[in-house]
Each structure stands twice: as C-alpha cells, then as structure tokens.
Structure 1
C-alpha cells in the first residue's frame, strides 16, 4: 500500500456529490490557492493563514488518498460543496500573499502520530457554523496571542499531530492497477487487496483471513475475494476488476474511518507481518518457520530467550520454550501458545531490533527487513537482496546475476525464483522470512569463505602484470 503523495492535479466537481454539474481539473497548488482565497481572508495574521492552509491541504489529500469519491464510482476527487468539502470558485482571483504561502507549503500535510494517511482536517467558520475541528475565525484570535501555525493546529486537533514535509509529487492516476488481479499474480497491488480484505473481515467474519500477506494471489486470496463479492452483491468470479477494487477501497476507508477526524488510522503496522493463526506445539507450517526466524533473532539480543537451533517450520519443544521465554519476558501469559498478543509482541520486538542496529551491522547476517519483497517494490532492502543474489550467482550457476539498483524488477524476480527452487523453498518469486533467511545464510557462507587473514594463502596463484605485456 503506497504512502501518500502530492497529486500533480485534482479534479473538482462543481456541485454536491451526484449532481449534474461540471468537473474541472487543475494543478493541486492552484486548487489550494483557490480554496484558501475563497475560505479565508488575506488580511489575517500569517500564522492563522498558514494554519488554515495546512488544514485545507490535508483535507484535500485525505479525499484523494482514501479515494472517497472515486471508490463510490464518481469521476472526481472532491466537490466544491461546503456541506461535504471545501469552497472552490472557478475562475476567481487569487490573493498574492496566499499564493506565495501555498507555493512554499503545498507539499506539506498533517498526520495523526502513528498514522500515515493525511489527517481529515475538518474545519468550519467558528461563527455561523461550529464543528469538532478547526475554527477559522478562532485561528485569528490564537495567532494574535502569538501562537505559531503548529500551536494553532494542535490547539484544535490535539498534541498528537505531525507535519509531513516535502512529500513527493506524482501523477494522480488512481490506485486501480489498470488490469484485473487474478490467481497467480504477484505484485504490490495484490498485497494492498490482501491487507484491506483482512481488515474488512474483522467486521465481516464470513470473509476468510488471508495469510501470508505477501502480494502473491494464491488460492486463499481468491477464496477471500469470492466471498467478498458474494457478500456485497458483485459478480462472483474471484478476480479483482475495477468494480471489486473500488468496492474494497470504499469499505476499507469506511470501516477504518479514514475520512473522519476521529479516524482509526492507517499505521505502518498495517503493512508489516500479519497474525496468521494460533500456533502451538506439533504444528507444521510456513507461519511456524516465520515465527522461528523472529525468535532466532530475538534470542541473539535477549539472553532470557534461548537461541533456536533450526528453522524448519516444525513447532517443537525448542520453539515452545523460546515462546514461553518471550511471554515471560514481556509479561504475557506463559502458555507456549502463539496467540495474537504473543505474535504482535514477537514481531514488534523483532522490528525494534532491526531499527536499533548500529552502523556496521552489515558485517553480520543481513536481517529480514520486516516486509515481503516482490516485483514492483523499491528500497535499500531490495538492494541488499540483489547484492546477496549477485554474490550467490558466482557460486550457484543456477542463479542469474542481477543489477543492484534497488528496484525489484523481472531480473530480480527470476533470480529469486531460481534461488527458491534451488534451496527447496516455495517457488513464488516473493521474498518472505524463509526465503530471506535461506539466501542470507548462504550469502554469508560465501562472503566469509572468500575472506583471508593476513599472510593467508588465498587459494589461487596471484599474477602481476610487468608492464611489458608479459607476467612477472
């Protein structure tokens, strides 16, 4: 699921939702300049103007990020009806000082701490209309008292808000990937659908949970899609076309309240390891292998937790003892059974270790980055994966060499598929903890095996060019 961005353009419906009115498309900064010039006065104190513009930017970005209107079948991002959205007057004059401020801060927006979606920054005049959010005229009084824009915003929205600055600008193409998603697909769009269906299933338990959330459209994902389509009266084909995609998006936004001031919030935890099922002694599953990997890392940093001898996907006595140790360490019931609180504690502890690693930790076995890697993803963790695969390709001819560019493209996918087949893993092209652990351990074996101590024979004769075309 992508992080928010500043759209190059925004489409405004010049009337209330569903009305027979014209749509206009303009640049996002020009839209904010128009709204600000229509909603507030240029003679207000600058701190008040800036606080209002931050709210206007965040409100508009929330509508775009949650696809509030497009997920309901409309062909626009926002309306100009103040009963629903912000005031916009097509063709109006723009005040110079407001234009200058918007040019400076149009790519900054508000978020609730711990959430990623732009804040649904509700506001009203504060005189003729009052609301739970910002009072436009109230900001004037606060600015005259010497409050900064951020202090004004926290006065109305609470102390737990942050300002995201210098957000990237991207085309506003909508979230639908352009082609239907079906069995066998593997990409970030599939991962988004899996995350959203899992959240929706908490309110509609007939929809089965999907595990793992790895971006691979497997049979579990198809079953969940079919059930969703059946529950909500869509054509039941197990394929995520445009209608199913946006119906899922609309319900996800509505259930989490992302377009409300009191939003449940979309946290970074929504895109990390998801609780699979209750795990206990005697089980064999990929989820157990993932659990063992997390426990093995934790055991290297917490002496109270025994270090696992193997990661084999079998929940044996050794795994149970490590689980009990974690439960005791963090004050959970010491049952040896991995329920959801235990799973959340284990995964959060692993991620905290990952974030706290000091400079130079790369000399040890590279740790799983905490997210599934699949085609379309970019980042330093992809670069690390590519480095490991390229190194392994010098020892394992079955694995093709890949460029280290941080982009998980077809070449990286082919190398992952080859490694998974070679190492006896599920061949999916998706890198979860088992695949990462297998690649990383063999990578370190190759790296450590190639190192030589001072004065140690390197294993092959060294030759030096003598500068005359011969060899010394």
Structure 2
C-alpha cells in the first residue's frame, strides 16, 4: 500500500487484542464488521445520526490510515491495528452490534476523510472528550454539534479543519503487504522501484547525505543503488544496495515519519505520488511497451515449450496474446484467466531466468544474444553492457541510423544517446534504458545484418 498504490478499502483487517508488545490473539475480520464493532463499542446508538456518522467517518479513516501506511507492519508486527484506545480504537471480540450503527456502516464503510488535494486516509485522531482530551475529534462534543443542526461533514470540519473532504465509493481489494515478495536490486524495474525512489528522495530532504535519484523513473539504476546504500548505512542496515524486506519496511517507517502520515499535521499524498507509472495488470486490449515486453518473454519461452503458441511482438494484447498467456498460466499452475497480474509476471520472469541459466556458453555465435534478464542503464559496467555496445556499433556500421559508439563495457552517455535514438525511431519511449522490448529491438536490428 503506502504511496505505491492508490488507496483502497481492504476486505479484511487484522486486530491485535492487546497492547502492541503484549502477547495476545490476532483476529482477522471483514473491514465493515470491524468498524461496526468499534462504533458499537465507542459511541451510543441513541446519539443523533449526524453525530454517529461523523464518528464512524473518523473511525473508518483512522483504521485505514493504520493499514495504508502499514504503521505496525513496518515495525515488524503481524497485525494492522490494536484493540485498545491507549494506541488505537476499541474492539471487543464477539460483542453485539447495534442495528442502526450496522446500517450506517454498510452505507459509508467505503468512504473516508482526506485533506483536499490529497488521496491518503487522513490521521483522524479522536478521543471521548470527557475522560480523555486530544487535539482531534471529541466524541461527546459531536453530539452537541449535531443537536445544533450541523451535518456530519460540518462536524468533521470543526475538528479537522475546513480543508478536508470525503473520498466516496473507494474500490475494495484484498489487504496484502506492500513488500513485493522478492528483493529489489540493480537492473530491476517497475512500480515497486518507483516507490522506493520517491520514498528515498523525500527522506533525503531530512537526511541530505542520501543522494537524490533523478529521474525517479522506476528503473533501479546506479543512482538508486547508491541512495539505498546510504540509507542502509544511516539506519544501521547491511549496506548492500539491495532492498530486501528489512530495508523495504525501514524505508516505509522512515518515510511515514518524515511525511508525518500518522499525525494530524500530515503532509499527505497527492494523486501524482500514488499513481503507478507502469500498468499493474495487462489484459486483452492493453498496448504499449509493457505488452511488447510481455510478448518478448512469451516468445522466448515458447521457443523452448511447444505448449505455448507463437505470437507477434506488435505491442497489442490481442486474442493471440491472451491464448499464449493462458497456455503459460496452465503450465505454471496458475488460474488460466489470460490476465497478467503480479503472480503471472513473477512466474514469467522465473521461467525466463531458468532459460537464461540453461543456455550453454558459445551458442550465440555471430548473432545477438537474448535479453540478459534485467534493465541496463547508465553507469553500469559489465559484459552485458559490452555486448549491448557491440550490437549498437554493428547497427551503426551497417545502417548509419545511429552514430558509432566505443565498445568499453561502460554504459556511458554516448551509449544512452544511441539507445534513446533507436527507441525514438521505433515508437518506444526514448528513456535510454534497455529493458526487454528495447533489447529485442536492438537484437533484431543487429541480426538483420
């Protein structure tokens, strides 16, 4: 979740029935049922409906803030929220639910409070206003305000400011941890890389020793690796430049802290900060460079497995691509729905990496080799960069469509410019980075000599 995804309403929430550090049972319940329990435990069904609704909005948003920012999970806990008002909200396992509260929750559980211009759940701190007093909403004071004729929204404005709004009809999805399940390292690319780049850049405002990553384009390049190493050094993690689970959640914890996402003074997150630059899911009708990458993986895998039909690498996700995806999913033991989500991407990459590992040395002869399995970007220095430069030089010598470059094994500015020129000439984004679609283009041009 966090910046990495536009916020959604979780299907479930896991509640720790005690203090955070106290051994206690965890219970996982449907999110609406959790809110009904909290509201029935903290407010009275006889209150004016406007007061009840205002309190439920605050309770929903508070819980979503805990989940969205992974407040507890980023600290190593295996739950989303506790059951005690000392830290969170009252939850009483097995308690009866008031009928009118249940009805209201069913109506508004997928709405939450935001700062205007922001999309993340605002930290709607509150207290009862009698035995405890806080800077947020006073539950008993909402009753008096409702009796004066204020609407739920006006009541919320009294406590949280005039610049709040209510985001309505938010989509519902499974509540899954944000960690992608595999370590991120040099050469990776995608939304999760974009996430850590933006988090590191914001953290660097408070910790200037961390170098800024420019551009933060979703490609794990040398600049990203250097920023990760410095972050790890500052926060006493192994400075290997790899974002495994400990580094991922330490990043999230520090990012939430510097953005004050768990406070009333939160900076909040704009839509630009949570928009994914790469499609999370590809399906029939999709098009573009990500579809070309998918088709490239399928084409290579199909060469070694006749069960997967050949397809054109045209960048359009048509029926033929759907059939190839379904065939691969069947072989991989996945639901054969023809839709490429995270699990299908991971299995495709694993199958491709397995092919790379089994290729005997020397089989390439005079032709360009297949994609090495990771993004090549400026600053890298290795044999794959040397091969890339060899192919680019061959294309330049043969066709003259790009200037010749030196074969040094170092991904320098001239290499980036040559790559970007080829990308622009072939309707690919001219980023200068080399992913599967660009590598396959260069390979085809080189082999066509």
Q: TM-score, normalised by structure 2?
A: 0.66
Query: Could you report, residue by residue, the CA deviation over 1:254-284 in whole angstroms, capped at 9, with x for unpaired residues?
Result: 1100000111111234358xxxxxxxxxxxx
Q: In 2 relative to 1, CA 233–83 (structure 1 residues): closer, same or farther, beyond 3 Å? A: same
Residue in 1 that maps onto 2:316: 402
Aligned counterpart for 1:81 among listed residues 68, 79, 84: 84
Aligned counterpart for 1:235 among listed residues 230, 238, 263: 238
Query: Could you report, residue by residue, the CA deviation over 1:381-424 in whole angstroms, capped at 9, with x for unpaired residues?
Result: x95747998xxxxxxxx96242279989979xx9xx9xxx9997
Aligned counterpart for 1:226 among listed residues 209, 212, 229: 229
Residue in 2 that maps onto 1:253: 256
**How many angstroms does 1:376 deviate by?**
3.0
Instruction: Give aligned pairs, total.
Output: 330
Contact kept, 8 Å, 1:195 with 1:271, in 2: the verdict is no
Contact kept, 8 Å, 2:110 with 2:168, in 1: the verdict is yes
User: Are 2:58 and 1:70 aligned?
Assistant: no
Instruction: State the alpha-carbon separation in 1 of the partners of residues 258 and 290 from structure 2.
Output: 41
**How many angstroms does 1:441 deviate by?**
11
Query: Could you report, residue by residue, the CA deviation over 1:98-148 in whole angstroms, capped at 9, with x for unpaired residues?
Result: 011111111110101121210110111112211111111111111111111
Residue in 2 that maps onto 1:178: 181
User: Are 2:47 and 1:143 aligned?
Assistant: no
Contact kept, 8 Å, 1:62 with 1:259, in 2: the verdict is yes
Deviating above 6 A after TM superposition, structure 1's stretches of 4 or more consecutive aligned residues are: 386-389, 404-411, 421-428, 434-438
CA RMSD of aligned residues (A): 3.7
Residue in 2 that maps onto 1:197: 200
Aligned counterpart for 1:130 among listed residues 118, 133, 137: 133
Query: Could you report, residue by residue, the CA deviation over 1:166-199 in whole angstroms, capped at 9, with x for unpaired residues?
Result: 1111111110011111111111011101000110
Residue in 2 that maps onto 1:206: 209
Aligned counterpart for 1:217 among listed residues 216, 220, 225: 220
Q: In 2 relative to 1, CA 401–81 (structure 1 residues): closer, same or farther, beyond 3 Å? A: closer
Contact kept, 8 Å, 1:208 with 1:223, in 2: the verdict is yes
User: Are 2:111 and 1:108 aligned?
Assistant: yes
Q: TM-score, normalised by structure 1?
A: 0.63
Q: In 2 relative to 1, CA 61–388 (structure 1 residues): closer, same or farther, beyond 3 Å? A: closer
**How many angstroms does 1:69 deviate by?**
0.4
Q: In 2 relative to 1, CA 426–93 (structure 1 residues): closer, same or farther, beyond 3 Å? A: farther
Q: In 2 relative to 1, CA 378–427 (structure 1 residues): closer, same or farther, beyond 3 Å? A: farther
Contact kept, 8 Å, 1:51 with 1:149, in 2: the verdict is yes
Residue in 2 that maps onto 1:347: none
Instruction: State the alpha-carbon separation in 2 of the partners of residues 61 and 11 from structure 1.
Output: 12
Q: In 2 relative to 1, CA 113–224 (structure 1 residues): closer, same or farther, beyond 3 Å? A: same
Contact kept, 8 Å, 2:83 with 2:90, in 1: the verdict is yes
Structure number with the bigger relative contact order (C-alpha 8 A, sep ≥ 6) is 2
